[in-house]
Chain A
């Protein structure tokens, strides 16, 4: 009984804290895309300063999102939201479409030759191409 309870507690703790603290993030593009992506261009794409590719984001509730905001764009999620509200309420830009899951990002990028997104490096499939890996 005690061991079962311990196991349940460990499981709960595990569920709560098993979120990877620092996952490798793969920036993915369509396999047809031969772009040589720099981290500078990645920032430009995800801040609306470049529309060379169509960026898709993970939803704000996704833990990978805030990690990507920091590592890929170099800003906190709140700073980026402030940035996009500047553009949005002055008619100068629309933030990247948000998709709920990594599976949706993978499917979107696989289907759209012009798309760019990101997923956990472990989730990458053969249907997409890794353009940049963020540690």
Chain B
């Protein structure tokens, strides 16, 4: 698993006088998928088989500089970004005490139980983390985080505090737009005893997403809509719709049971962005798997429930001319989502460092009545 190299010459060049111990590890996933019908699309797949969409490869370099200081960089290329390589993680780590570590740099936003290693498919049984819950985005933040582990009697406790900001993309109605979350402040706490573990996460921040380029009708963008509303003296309505430095918060609860034969996982999440057209998102999944030596079949269920914030335009229905009311309604309704997904799959450890996985997913979108089926398979490995 580990290819440890004592990169003495490199270390001397980088850090004069320090005897650095550098390790290089990596992981890769090669996955293929195809939807079960010609009008079906799911997780970036359609009805022609695709080997690129969820494939990825990553290299991690960690250099231990001694005196409890280390630096870690993870370079990752995703198939759906043409394997363009970027820094997924890049941080320095300092061990304050035996049970306290501080990391600073580019970190994974600790929303979910599997956030930190969701790209490392080998680390879990599913073919992919449940998208109904994990599809939020904002995966990485730049900032600082403190980990503290402790033993409370026979319970293992891991506390994480995080502070930082996000600057990058968000996807609104299928359009990639600029997004910022300032002063991200969060806490996660995980308690584990024997087979059982529980996790709680709460993060808050000030979210700004530039929605002006989102197209509402041919030749008519959200930016055009805001202009027209402002011109009609409806600035308060614009303020209630747009996402400009809005208080937002994330809450997550997770429960895991893993006795090494059975593995059960469930997570519930709630996302709120105040004063905006973003619907409150309440999502959860539950998964059950059974290990038979090297074979682990599993079944999971995901539920997404986002109610469009129709209360935003209700006071204005009598005031607004239809050519403005309709796009306002359309924009707000675009956030409505009511979907159930069933997944059935298996992991097969066919090699000491690699696992073969196959998963069938069936998503029922109640909002538009569409059903999407997807068959995917692939290999996850670590090296």
List A residues at the B interface (Cβ < 8 Å): 49, 51, 60, 74-79, 81-86, 88-92, 94-95, 98
Contact = CB atoms under 8 A, between A and B. Distances in A.
A82 B122 contact: yes
Nearest to B99: A51
Contacts of A94: 23, 62
Contact of B147 (A49, A79, A92, A98): A92
A52 to B, nearest CB: 9
A89 B23 contact: no
* Most chain A CB within a 10 A radius of its CB, from B58, B70, B116, B156: B116
Contacts of A79: 260, 291
Contacts of B147: 92
Interface stretch (B174-182, B205-213, B347-355): B347-355
Contact of B355 (A51, A78, A92, A98): A78
A78 B117 contact: no
B260 A98 contact: no
Nearest to A70: B260
A49 B382 contact: no
B1 A81 contact: yes
Given A60-B352, A78-B349, A91-B93, A86 B1 contact: no
Contacts of A51: 98
Nearest to B4: A97
B123 A86 contact: yes
In the A-B complex, list the 5 residue pairs whose CB atoms are closest, starting with the nearest: A90-B116, A78-B349, A86-B123, A85-B123, A85-B382
B27 interface: yes
A110 to B, nearest CB: 22
Interface of B: 1-2, 23, 25, 27, 58, 60, 62, 70, 72, 74, 89, 91, 93, 98, 103, 108, 116-117, 119-120, 122-124, 147, 149, 156, 260, 291, 293-294, 349, 352-353, 355, 382
A75 to B, nearest CB: 6
A51 B116 CA distance: 22
Contacts of B149: 49
Contact of A85 (B62, B122, B349): B122
A90 B88 CA distance: 11
A76 B293 contact: yes
Given A60-B352, A89-B116, A91-B89, 6 more contacts: A49-B149, A76-B260, A89-B60, A90-B116, A91-B70, A91-B72
Contacts of A95: 1-2
A103 B3 CA distance: 21
A51 B101 CA distance: 14
Contact of B74 (A74, A78, A89): A89
Contacts of B93: 91
A92 B382 CA distance: 16
Contacts of B117: 85-86, 89-90
Nearest to B105: A91
A84 B116 contact: no
A84 B72 CA distance: 16
A78 B123 contact: no
A89 B27 contact: yes
Contacts of B294: 76, 78
Contact of A91 (B91, B119, B120, B291): B91
A82 B125 CA distance: 9
Contacts of A98: 2
A74 B355 contact: no
Contacts of B123: 82-83, 85-86, 89
Given A89-B123, A98-B2, A81 B352 contact: yes
Contacts of A83: 123
A51 B62 CA distance: 19
A85 B27 contact: yes
